[in-house]
Amino acid sequence: MQKDDWRTTESRHMQERNNMITQMYYAVYDITDNGIRESLVQVLKDAGFTRIQKSVFCGKISNQQKKDILENVKNIINQDADSFYLIMSCSQCFGKIVTIGKKFDKEYVTDSKSSMVF
């Protein structure tokens, strides 16, 4: 193997590892059209996000999933009328969430608790 081949292979492996690393994100949106909103919700659910409020989802995704979501959102929403935010949250910060009222299961959202399907 030539030296350049080794660098190319190592670079590809490093990129693959980076795409496997997951990070917590909040997806927050304000979309008026029901059809567009339903399409966006499906994109988020397909990526493994969990709804925590009507217009707020959270989930753990890889860098590649983030790129895919953002590309899908660009193609779905009306960028003149709608808004979409994808906000990264480190694991330590996500654990410090304070909620008042109806709560969501933080362990389920962070994949530290498995779900059971009957």
Domains of the chain as residue ranges with CATH: 20-109 (3.30.70.240)
Q: What backbone phi and psi angles, to 5 degrees, belong to 44?
A: -65, -45
Q: What is the pTM of this model?
A: 0.69
pLDDT in tens, 39-79: 999 999 999 999 988 999 999 999 999 999 999 999 999 99
Contact 36, 75 (CB under 8 A): no
- Torsion from C-alpha of 28, 55, 95, 101, nearest 10 degrees: 150
